[in-house]
């Protein structure tokens, strides 16, 4: 799927459907996988795993942001998904810590807010000797539940892994 790629592991105890969405992959610009998972009887979540490559000459942040927003709007407008919570896990290569200084970052963040999605990772996920950036994101549509989210400090990659665990009441 390109330089980053996306994928998911779903435990066999869950029923799921991989959603076929227009523009889920735009080579060099936007890569995503969207899955509808039954988390309890009759209750579903949509989880999106997104990578936005950041390599010239194809990288186009404006196009990626508008495509991302369009996909989520389509999911929310679809009558088969209207009652589903949405979670988006991404390596979007946009530093959320720069929202006040970078117009496109602010546009991205504002679009997520307008779609009812809020970030649960709020600290840097990529730390170097002279810089720290928040480029790996988890956005959720329901922050009312009890959850734990965080960053695992590791030298496994130049990005620190993120996680989100929420209380499930069945």
* Separation between Cα atoms, residue 105 and residue 94, nearest integer Å: 6
For the segment 82-103, what is each residue's pLDDT rounded down to a tens digit?
889 999 999 999 999 999 999 9
Position 58 scores a pLDDT of 72
Helix 61-77 to helix 103-114 angle (10° resolution) is: 0
For the segment 144-155, what is each residue's pLDDT rounded down to a tens digit?
678 899 999 877
CA distances from 62 to 66, 86, 124 (A): 6, 22, 23
What mean pLDDT value characterizes the chain?
A: 89
For the segment 20-57, what is each residue's pLDDT rounded down to a tens digit?
998 899 988 999 999 999 988 888 999 999 999 887 77
Residue where the block lists tokens 């892994």: 161
* Separation between Cα atoms, residue 4 and residue 71, nearest integer Å: 20
């Amino acid at each position: 799927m390109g330089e980053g790629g996306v994928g998911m592991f779903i435990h066999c105890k869950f029923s799921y459907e991989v959603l076929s969405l227009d523009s889920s992959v735009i080579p060099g610009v936007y890569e995503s996988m969207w899955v509808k998972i039954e988390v309890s009887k009759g209750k579903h979540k949509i989880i999106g795993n997104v990578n936005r490559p950041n390599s010239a000459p194809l990288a186009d942040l404006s196009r990626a942001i508008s495509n991302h927003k369009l996909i989520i709007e389509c999911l929310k407008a679809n009558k088969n998904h209207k009652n589903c919570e949405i979670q988006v896990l991404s390596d979007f290569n946009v530093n959320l810590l720069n929202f006040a200084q970078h117009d496109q970052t602010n546009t991205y963040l504002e679009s997520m807010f307008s779609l009812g999605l809020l970030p649960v990772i709020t600290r840097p996920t990529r730390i170097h000797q002279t810089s720290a950036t928040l480029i790996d994101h988890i956005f959720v549509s329901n922050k009312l539940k009890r959850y734990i989210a965080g960053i695992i400090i590791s030298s496994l990659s130049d990005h620190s892994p993120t996680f989100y665990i929420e209380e499930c009441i069945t």
